[in-house]
Structure 1
Amino acid sequence: MAATTTDTNNYKFNHSMIRVKDPKESVKFYEFLGMKVIKRLQFPESKFDLYFLGYDGAGAPSAGRSTFDRQGLIELTHNYGTETDPHYKVNNGNAEPHRGFGHVCVAVDHIRAACARLEDAGYRFQKRLEDGRMRHIAFALDPDGYWVEIISLRSGSKGADDPEEAKALVSDPGTYRMNHTMIRVKDAEKSLKFYQEVLGMSLFRTSEQPAAKFNLYFLGYPGERGVPADGFSAEYEGLLELTWNYGTEKDPDFKYHDGNAEPQGFGHICVSVDNLEAACARFESLGVGWKKRLTEGRMKNVAFVLDPDGYWVEIVQNESFSGKENF
């Protein structure tokens, strides 16, 4: 590829970053969900470490690839000392008045068995399968209280397996997928335009809920598989779910919390690109808002653009195109 070109068909939704209090407990939780630490970056001079986790077993779409040639990773950011600070607490993005980021989502083989396995291990739930009207999804809580949605990998499954039958099932975390990250958006039209026309994502499906006055939009990079004809995308990694509550776009004072202003929690999503300089030049030509250009700060190998709600989108080089490690 020429140094002056970039193609959004090569882009990937690489990771979502969340801040954590105690990395040992957080890594333990996500490893219990079948993930493994793909890369750890240490910055002792700046007093923080980064842990990149993802699915790497046989059959996982990103298995064996270099860190930034993957989709569906979770980046845990640990600032030294938080684990011993009794007052430190993250903002999980779901409590007023600091809502914004909503959750990450893991797709599993047998949803009842997977939820039972989590509960047996002592992990808490925001919503169990039997709670509320939606009996085909659950929300587990990670050690910091971030919501982790649990859905089924099986097309057509509503999760209503017979509880007695479910006891005989064994859930295999090696089959799980980090399916999507959800953020709330103020103006669906503006956000869809940004993620499709600027970042080059495709709209996989739309779920309209007029009775509840919200819509869900699932976007991602389809790659060689393409966009699923039936809209079922649980087997994919690295999707983005936009949640739009009707009417927020009409309120001039309405604003979601980006996770980086206090109180902090969620940090950013990250897209890896084929040519970092060319991609950033393209973004500049499209008039995006910037949090950090490549030329700014000490780290010249990452940039951050801003989406219409002010969420940070990190832009990094995919090593498979450059032939060299980023960090």
Structure 2
Amino acid sequence: MSLVNKFEFPDNKFDLYFLAYDSPKAASHGKHWTDREGIIELTHNYGTENDAKYKIHNGNKDPKGFGHVCVSVDNIQAACKRLSDAGYKFQKRLEDGRMRHIAFALDPDEYWVEIIAQNPVSETENVTTTDLETYRMNHTMIRVKDKDISLKFYQDVMGMTLQRTSENKDANFNLYFLGYGAPVGEKSANGVNPSANREGLLELTWNYGTEKEEGKVYHDGNAEPQGFGHICVSVDDLDAACKRFEDLNVNWKKRLTDGRMKNVAFVLDPDGYWIEVIQNEKYKAAPGKY
């Protein structure tokens, strides 16, 4: 990935780093950082690097909530070997378990990074090279209590489209992939995940029966123990979008008018995950700015 933007807040003792794939072969090459779909925001609170007791909660141990981010790659065997040769750890290697077409690498804070294939796995077994310029920041996964309530929220309120569904009845869970734009469909001409070349998708994981549990089931990552913070949606007109959300009676973490930062808002989804809402500068830019 490339660093496409950075904000420093020394008075508040934290910095933000925004990373994305930005090569000529990337999905959003050269776009303004607010006009991209495949972005990862890293938050660094000053001093944590020197605190031996400081540990990030990755969301996959109790209390669970956030699951992983996902990167799609050209040649998955070569991509995983490259990471392994560099000394990075894996939660799941390609050869582990029954699912031989996905892997999970661990980043330095032990967040899970799923690795999926853009090409049929059977055709890349003997390929020894991988082209990083073709990678995609494919999706972010969160667990949800009630699939119907969450799907309605992300479609009707956030304006997303259900891209595809993966039912896993034997394992008692379903996966729902949402994003902006037309659905990709369930079939793929090359035999792999039909949305593997997309960026910025949201994966909802629904474990059967959680909708019957009392109270809150999943951890939002912002209460202790901290880890995952939020997803983010950029909009054409920030004021109009927030007025629409207000009219739809959403639950707010922060309205535009709250606090000192008047250029961001945070909506809460049905499970209490934070959704940051920002202005897409493409729609506010002066001619020739980009």
Q: Same fold (TM over 0.5)?
A: yes
Amino acid at match of 2:97: G
User: Could you tell me which residue of structure 1 aligns to residue 136 of structure 2?
Assistant: 177
Deviation at 1:172, TM superposition (A): 1.0
Alignment of 1:197 with 2:156, yes or no, is yes
SS of 1:151 mapped into structure 2:
strand
Deviation at 1:161, TM superposition (A): 5.5
Alignment of 1:72 with 2:38, yes or no, is yes
Contact 1:136–1:160 under 8 Å retained in 2: no
Deviating above 3 A after TM superposition, structure 1's stretches of 4 or more consecutive aligned residues are 160-163
Deviation at 1:72, TM superposition (A): 1.0
Deviation at 1:253, TM superposition (A): 3.4
Which 5+ residue runs of structure 2 have no aligned equivalent?
188-193
Pick from 144, 160, 179 the counterpart of residue 109 of structure 2: 144
Amino acid at match of 2:242: C
Alignment of 1:126 with 2:85, yes or no, is no
SS of 1:92 mapped into structure 2:
coil
Amino acid at match of 1:63: H
Alignment of 1:57 with 2:23, yes or no, is yes
User: Could you tell me which residue of structure 1 aligns to residue 191 of structure 2?
Assistant: none
User: Could you tell me which residue of structure 1 aligns to residue 232 of structure 2?
Assistant: 270
Which 5+ residue runs of structure 1 have no aligned equivalent?
1-34
Contact 1:37–1:51 under 8 Å retained in 2: yes
SS of 2:283 mapped into structure 1:
helix
Pick from 42, 56, 63 the counterpart of residue 8 of structure 2: 42
Deviation at 1:300, TM superposition (A): 0.3
SS of 1:236 mapped into structure 2:
coil
Contact 2:70–2:138 under 8 Å retained in 1: yes
Distance 2:44 2:30 in 1: 25
User: Could you tell me which residue of structure 1 aligns to residue 74 of structure 2?
Assistant: 109
SS of 2:230 mapped into structure 1:
strand
Contact 2:216–2:271 under 8 Å retained in 1: no
Distance 1:251 1:109 in 2: 41
Higher relative contact order (CA 8 A, sep 6+): 1
The within-5 A match list for 1:279-318 is 279-318=241-280
Distance 1:162 1:298 in 2: 51
SS of 1:116 mapped into structure 2:
helix
Contact 1:135–1:160 under 8 Å retained in 2: no
Pick from 65, 72, 94 the counterpart of residue 60 of structure 2: 94
Deviation at 1:62, TM superposition (A): 1.1
SS of 1:150 mapped into structure 2:
strand
* Paired residues, number: 280
Deviation at 1:252, TM superposition (A): 1.0
Q: TM-score, normalised by structure 1?
A: 0.84
Deviation at 1:227, TM superposition (A): 2.1
Q: TM-score, normalised by structure 2?
A: 0.94
Contact 1:142–1:148 under 8 Å retained in 2: yes
Contact 1:248–1:254 under 8 Å retained in 2: no
Distance 2:28 2:155 in 1: 22
Contact 1:276–1:315 under 8 Å retained in 2: yes
* Same amino acid, percent of matched pairs: 66
Distance 2:132 2:205 in 1: 27
